[in-house]
A and B are shown apart, each in its own frame.
Chain A
Amino acid sequence: MRTFNKILITVLFFIFLFLAGFGEAFAQYCSPDDFTVVTINGIFTTEKEAVANMEGLRKILPFNRNTEEIKVDYLHNPTHLGGVTDLFAAAYQKYFDEREVRDFDLVEILKEASKKITTQKVLLVGHSQGNFYANSFYDTVANRSGGIPAESIRLFGIATPTSRVAGDGKYLTSDTDKVINLIRTGKIVSVLPANAKVTLDPGDDSNGHNFRNVYLKYLKGDIIRGVYNSLGELSNNSVQLKENYCIAPPDPTLGHRILEGFFFLADPYALAGKAIIKTAVKGADYLSQKIAEGALSIFSKLASTAEKIPNESVAVIAYDNLVTDQTDKQKSAEPTQQTISPSTPPQTFQIAPIWNQAANLSTSSTSENIDPSKPDSVVLNPSRNRSSRNVSPSPVSEVVDPVVIPPDEEDNHSEEEEDDNDSEGNGNEEESNEEGGNNGNEEENGNEEGGNGGGEESDPPIPGQIKYIDKYKFGTGNGDGRDWQVWAFNGSNIYDWSDTYINGYLNEKFKLQTYRGFWCSQCLERGIFKNGDPRLGFLRTDLTISSLEYSPQNNMIDATYLVDILWDALGYTYTITNLSDDNTVHATGHTDIAGVDENMWVGWDGSFNSFKFFPSGDWIGIPYASPGLEGGGSMMMEPFAVYIGLPLPLLPHLSTTTSGPYENDGLNILEGNENQTIFSFRVIYTCPLNREPEQVMLHTENLNSSLLSDFSMERITSGEGIFSDGDFSNGEMYGYDGTFEAGEYDYYFTSTDDDETFRFPTTDTKFKFTVTSPTYTYIPKYSFGVDELGRYWQIWAFDGSYVYDWKNSYRNGFLRQDFKIKTAESGTGSENFLERGIFNRDPQKGFESSDVTLSLLKNNPQNNMDGEIYSVSITWKATGYTYYLRRGEQLVGYEEVVVESLDENTWVGWNSSENHFQTFPSGEWFSIEDSPFPPYSGGFNMILKPLPVYESTYSP
């Protein structure tokens, strides 16, 4: 049985190794053309940052050198065990800086390089600790079997802590790189001198060490030149065959696989532990600053002392982890000298010897010294170093932050390998509790949910940051099953709260009801937050607190006010209207606020709170004096951005021209006559996406009659320049022309597009125009025919004449009027005659004196007193009319009259010349019995029914 177990274990082990190798093989070749530039990052650099560094370098480098493409890639130097092993690696690498050094990560890097490098010519760009790996990479592959001939590989070091650049490569180190300077000034180890000058700006990485934000920013030209020139030093070779890998693929050893498995298993625990330590470090921030003020000076003393100690690892640890307990460090440094011993690299190689060498070195002789699984074997005790950081987190982190404790790195690691959903719990909760300072709030309010102690999301690790929780706010969204309708104060209630946006700016409105006998010592309070949505977290320094201007909350009268606060680019306008006093304005004014933008938010609470306790709110039910609404006190309003520029302008919108007759309000005139004046409305519909609207409407309201009317507007397709070019993205004009009944009018426009309606002007604003009654309105009473009283008006009597047999007809659309005049045989006659009125519109809808042209009959026979009967015929045509006057068959009068501007709006009517179309109605009836011209009945002073002179559809 024992034999069986041994065999089984052996077989399973080989199965594991066998299966693990599946899928790794892939085909590629090593091109003699093109270049590969590969970045290698330093310690504590996340994969994301490594990618960003590569992307930044690729962005600034040219695509080609001469005709050959420049490929830019990266090789990630990962962080293991929370960075502990990397610190050891750095120390180890520094110690062996003058010769090749191989460890687990180098094997991984070489493994990746084998996959990625597909050109003979390679340039390695190391940053910070990555330069150690670059050197070791070079030492391992240059001129080695399965590697790269020296003429085809170069190094370019950036911010290098090394004493050399392998292969006589170039480098670039800033004189203000505090991390490198610190190592150099310690005089413990040899570091290449600075060779570039950088003047940092405020806000830059204070260490001057960051690859992307310092070196690429300030030394872009030097880097481009350095890389470009280094590439120029590369040449093709005949050793690397096109059909092979540029670098021979690794043949991982058993030890390498074991280490890989170890890291896989151990990393999550190590990283979680590191996150806890970091949280504690942040919680002791103040203490750490005090202690750390002396850290550098202590370090300098230590460094001076250490000059006597010929061990480079001391300085390396100092460089990578400045916040250490100096005593521990000094003590721990000593044995390192004794335990780390250089090994002589092998001199002979087989087909893939470099991998075997590297793996052997990392797992055999060297691993005894730096085996991360045996921290005790290395004198510098990582746990003690970490502990010391907990006690005295140093402000030195400001100096060497990217290298020593990159906050992002730590945050990342605190969550690494955790499921996205599962990881959002405890760790963050602890962090929030410590940093938010709101724990007491939960106890005070007795709330179980919400609060700043139980954050659902991971808080940014900013000390003092707390979250604004909009609870309890108006509405049913508080999760308590209640509808918070009113916010009760002592002496007032607030309700009908609304938050809307006008032209992108916040408009807050609410009603404020005050009542007698109660004083509000803690009233409404406004919080203005300058750095975005405070619900995501805010600092006290982000917050400005103010009261409602001229708040009537303590007026102690029974009244209801409407509070209207409208934000703009310079602050906000407040208007408080007393609704109980005929809408008188209680207070209004503008409060200037600097820096209004999308990141400025506003929230409201009670002044007892000052935005310190979240959530806040006490349910009451129906508060005292409430207008029948339920709610509570101590509420916390939902915060809103004071300005949202997005995405409203993108949406279709209406506007008017900015000049011309329709400017600003889209109407040609603001005042006109009832049923006469043609009001022309013009509005411009603009859709940035060049979409035609479903409809554009004009909406009017007659404020006198409360009549609401909607008019469809038509697109004007010509004559309006770009507004009639068919391109909706630059605006198309829509119009409506019409007359209106008398009254005061409000109007606005809307457009409908995809079921979205856009209004202009915006909500609650309307344009106005006025329609006045006309001076005269033509009332065709009394005219020929039977009136409503059954009286038959057959003759129109004048002194000395009678008009009768009046006929109206149309020929070819033009009016013809025929009638007879019977003159008296004796008498004095009259000064009152037939008078014609030619109107430029239908006078029945109203007219002014200027709208009518008066005229008499030419050779008017009315005062002839000859007892004759005259026939009158007036025929209209396009230019005017022709007049005939006959006595029997004899033509006694004739006239061709030209009427200017004759059109379908030209009307003609008749009255007595003493009236002049000024008195309506007019007419004096006489019966047959009283008729001066029996057997006809009729009357005096008649006003005949007006008619259009041209009416194609007219049917008499």
Chain B
Amino acid sequence: MKNLFNHKSLKVMLWVLGLTVILFGSGLVSRIAFLFHQEDVEAKLKEIHEAKISLADITGENMPSFTGSKSKDTVEGIDENNNGIRDDVELSILNAYPDLVTRAQLMQYAFALQTMANTKYVNEDIATAVIQEKSRAYECLASHLPKDTENILEISDELAQFVEKLQLNTPARIKADDNFYKKIGSFNQTQKEFCDLKI
């Protein structure tokens, strides 16, 4: 019997068996960990894609108070009314654009940019989802105009730049915005509805 276990072939077989168990166990642990992680990620993805601006945001019913220069202290800024749009940006949009259609578009774009500022990096999927929403918000800009409008790109860009100028108004915010793109993967637009609100 002792000789049997000293046999070279048997030793190799035991090694293979043991390693197979280790391999399977490692894979199983990894898979479980992955599933837990994936569940969190999917919940977060759902949350990102379902987050929308509301009518109260564009009518000003939910208007925040003026925050002044303190709103520049952090990348995230101040969102006193907790609607996902930085207060100073929100006030500026409300002030500059009285018509609800444009307001809704700008608010959505500001909301998307602010989501970029607020989102801590978890993984590429989440970063990509945020950019998808930003891209969707860009497509929403000037979407009330026909596609063949002569200067639709310029109009869209003008609106986008209006928000970006407000939103990215400190070097830290500009930098954070640039860095965010480095965390994303290629994506495609999965939603056909570009605008959160139909007005």
| A-to-B contact residues, CB < 8 Å | 3-4, 7-8, 11, 14-15, 18-19, 22-23, 46-48, 51, 54-56, 58-63, 69, 71-76, 112, 115-116, 118, 216-217, 220, 408, 411-412, 415-417, 420, 424, 457-460, 536, 645-647, 649-651, 688-689, 754, 756
Among residues of B, the one whose C-beta sits closest to the C-beta of A46 is B181
Docked-complex contact A116 and B61, CB < 8 angstroms: no
Asked if B83 is an interface residue, CB under 8 A from chain A, the answer is: no
B81 contacts chain A at the CB level, 8 A cutoff:
no
Contacts of B148 in A (CB 8 A): 62
Q: Are A73 and B15 in contact, with the CB atoms below 8 A?
A: no
Indicate if B188 sits at the interface (CB-CB under 8 A).
Answer: yes
A sample of 7 more A-B contacts (CB under 8 A), given A47-B184, A59-B142, is: A23-B38, A71-B189, A73-B188, A216-B153, A415-B175, A460-B171, A650-B60
**Cβ of A422 to closest chain B Cβ, rounded Å:** 12
- Decide yes or no whether B85 CB sits under 8 A from chain A: no
Q: Are B38 and A420 in contact (CB under 8 A)?
A: no
Other-chain residue from A63, A74, A217, A645 in contact with B186 (beta carbon distance below 8 A) = A74
Q: Which chain B residues lie closer than 8 Å to A63 at the CB level?
A: 147
Which residues of the partner chain A approach B181 to less than 8 Å between Cβ atoms? 46-48, 51
B95 touches A415 (CB 8 A): no
* Closest A residue, CB atoms, query B92: A646
Which of B135, B139, B179, B186 contacts A76, CB < 8 Å? B186
Report whether A75 and B19 are in contact in the complex, using a CB–CB cutoff of 8 Å.
Answer: no
B118 within 8 A of A: no
B19 contacts A116, CB within 8 Å? Answer: no
Q: How far is the CB of A301 from chain B (nearest CB, A)?
A: 39
Q: How far is the CA of A60 from the CA of B139 in the complex (A)?
A: 10
- Across the interface, which residues of B come within 8 angstroms of A411, CB to CB? 178
Please name all residues of chain A whose beta carbon is closer than 8 Å to the beta carbon of B172 when the two chains form the complex.
424, 457
CA distance in complex: A8, B60 (Å): 65
CB–CB B23/A11 < 8 A: yes
Given contacts A55-B135, A116-B188, contact A18 B175 (CB under 8 A): no
Q: Is the CB of A56 within 8 A of B91?
A: no
Q: Give Cα distance in the complex from A645 to B95, angstroms.
A: 9
A sample of 16 cross-chain residue pairs with beta-carbon separation below 8 angstroms, ordered by A number, consists of A15-B23, A22-B31, A48-B181, A60-B153, A62-B147, A62-B148, A73-B187, A217-B154, A220-B153, A416-B182, A420-B175, A458-B171, A647-B91, A650-B60, A651-B66, A688-B98
Point out the residues of chain A lying under 8 angstroms from B119, CB to CB: none
CB nearest neighbor in A for B20: A11
CB distance from B164 to the nearest CB of A (A): 11
A22 to B34, CA, bound (A): 8
Look across to chain B and name the residue whose beta carbon is closest to the beta carbon of A460.
Answer: B171
Give complex CA distance A116, B188 in Å.
6
Assess A55 versus B138: contact at CB under 8 Å? Given A458-B175, A646-B96: yes
Does B26 count as interface, using CB distance less than 8 angstroms? yes
Instruction: Please report the C-alpha to C-alpha distance between residue A616 and residue B19 in the assembled complex, in whole angstroms.
Output: 70
Residue B63 at the chain A interface, CB threshold 8 Å: yes
What's the minimum C-beta distance from A834 to chain B, rounded to whole angstroms?
69
B162: shortest Cβ distance to chain A, in Å? 12
> Could you tell me if B61 and A689 are in contact, using CB atoms closer than 8 angstroms?
yes
A649: shortest Cβ distance to chain B, in Å?
6
User: Is B91 touching A47 in the complex (CB atoms < 8 A)?
Assistant: no
- Chain A residues positioned under 8 Å from B59 (CB to CB): 689
Give A3 to B15 CA distance when docked, in angstroms.
Answer: 10
B30 to chain A: closest CB distance in Å? 5
Chain B residues in 8 Å Cβ range of A118: 188
Q: How far is the CA of A7 from the CA of B22 in the complex (A)?
A: 12
Q: How many residues of B sit at the interface, in one of the four size bands?
A: 35 or more
Contact A47 B182, beta carbon cutoff 8 Å:
yes
Given that A11-B19, A217-B153 are contacting pairs, would A23 and B139 also be in contact in the complex, using a CB cutoff of 8 Å?
Answer: no
User: Is B45 positioned at the interface, with any CB of A under 8 Å from its CB?
Assistant: no
- In the bound complex, what is the Cα–Cα distance between A408 and B59 (angstroms)? 37
Q: A74: which B residues are within 8 A, CB to CB?
A: 186
Out of A22, A76, A417, A460, name the residue touching B30 (CB < 8 Å): A22
Q: Please tell me if the beta carbons of A59 and B61 are within 8 angstroms of each other in the complex.
A: no
> How many Å lie between the Cα of A650 and that of B179 in the bound state?
34
* Inter-chain contacts of A71 with B (CB < 8 A): 188-189
Known contacts being A71-B188, A73-B188, is A647 close to B152, with CB within 8 Å? Answer: no
Report yes or no: A59 in contact with B153, Cβ–Cβ below 8 A: yes
Please tell me which one of the listed residues B26, B96, B171 contacts residue A457 in the complex, with CB atoms under 8 A apart.
B171
In the complex the two chains form, what is the Cα distance from A458 to B173 in whole Å?
Answer: 10
Select the residue from B61, B147, B154, B176 with max chain A CB neighbours within 10 A: B147
Q: Is the CB of B30 within 8 A of A61?
A: no
Given contacts A46-B181, A647-B95, A689-B61, contact A59 B156 (CB under 8 A): yes
CA distance A590 to B176 in the complex (A): 43
- Tell me the bound Cα distance from A73 to B19 in angstroms: 45
CB-CB contacts of B86-102 with A at 8 A, as 1s and 0s? 00100110111010000
CB pair A48–B34 under 8 Å, yes or no, is: no
Shortest C-beta distance, B13 to chain A (Å), equals 12
Name the residue in B15, B60, B98, B186 with the highest tally of chain A Cβ atoms < 10 Å from its Cβ.
B186
Asked if B186 and A18 make an inter-chain contact with CB atoms under 8 angstroms apart, the answer reads no
Please pick, from B15, B60, B63, B147, the residue contacting A61 in the complex, using a CB distance under 8 A.
Answer: B147
Q: B19 touching A7 by the CB < 8 A rule? A: yes
- Complex alpha-carbon distance, A61 and B26, angstroms: 50
Contact between chains at A649 and B95 (CB < 8 Å)? yes
Q: For the complex, what is the distance from the CA of A457 to the CA of B170, rounded to whole Å?
A: 9
B96 cross-chain contacts in A, Cβ below 8 A: 646
Q: Is the CB–CB distance between B94 and A650 below 8 Å?
A: yes
Contact of A4 among B15, B30, B61, B184 (CB under 8 A): B15
CB contacts (< 8 Å) of A3 on chain B: these are: 15
User: CA–CA, A315 to B43, complex, Å?
Assistant: 51
Tell me if B53 counts as interface (CB < 8 A to partner A): no
- Report the bound CA distance from A71 to B63 in whole Å: 36
Residues of A within 8 A of B139 (CB): 55, 58-59
Q: Which residues of B contact A415 (CB under 8 A)?
A: 175, 178-179
Q: How far is the CA of A710 from the CA of B34 in the complex (A)?
A: 69
Out of A51, A412, A651, which one reaches B131, CB within 8 Å?
Answer: A51
| CB <8 Å contact, B135 and A19 | no
Q: Are the C-beta atoms of B95 and A646 separated by less than 8 Å?
A: yes
The interface residues of chain B lying within 8 Å CB-to-CB of A22 are 30-31, 34
Least Cβ–Cβ distance between B66 and chain A, in angstroms: 6
CA distance A459 to B172 in the complex (A): 10
Q: Which residues of B lie under 8 Å from residue A649 when comparing CB positions?
A: 95
CB pair B156–A459 under 8 Å, yes or no, is no
Report yes or no: A650 in contact with B91, Cβ–Cβ below 8 A: yes
Q: For the complex, give the distance between the alpha carbons of A7 and B148 in Å.
A: 65
How far does the alpha carbon of A3 sit from the alpha carbon of B11 in the complex, in Å?
A: 11
With both chains docked as a complex, state the minimum distance between the C-beta of A247 and any C-beta of chain B, in angstroms: 14
Measured CA separation A55–B65 after assembly (Å): 34
- Distance in angstroms between the alpha carbons of A460 and B171 in the assembled complex: 8
Residues from chain A with a CB closer than 8 A to the CB of B31 are: 22
Q: Are B175 and A51 in contact (CB under 8 A)?
A: no
Most buried by A among B59, B60, B142: B60
Q: What separation, in Å, do the CA atoms of A63 and B143 have in the docked complex?
A: 11
Of the residues A15, A47, A59, A459, contact of B26 by C-beta under 8 Å = A15
Residues in B neighbouring A59, C-beta threshold 8 A: 138-139, 142, 152-153, 156
For residues 161 through 199 of chain B, which have their beta carbon under 8 Å from a beta carbon of chain A? 170-172, 175-176, 178-179, 181-182, 184-189, 192
Contacts of A72 in B (CB 8 A): 189
Asked whether, in the complex, the Cβ of B22 is within 8 Å of the Cβ of A11, the reply is yes
Tell me, rounded to whole Å, the shortest Cβ–Cβ distance linking A667 to chain B.
30
* Cα distance, A527 to B96, chains bound together (Å): 29
| Interface pair A646/B178, CB less than 8 Å apart | no
Please give the distance in Å from A378's CB to the nearest CB on chain B. Answer: 27
Complex contacts, A116 vs chain B, CB 8 Å: 186-188
A465 to chain B, nearest CB (A): 12
- 8 closest cross-chain pairs (CB), A and B: A457-B171, A647-B91, A48-B181, A689-B60, A73-B188, A650-B95, A647-B95, A47-B181
Closest CB in chain A relative to B89 CB, distance in Å: 10
When C-beta atoms are compared, the residue in chain B nearest to A55 turns out to be: B138
Q: How far is the CA of A858 from the CA of B81 in the complex (A)?
A: 78
Q: Are B189 and A73 in contact (CB under 8 A)?
A: yes
Q: Are B153 and A112 in contact (CB under 8 A)?
A: no
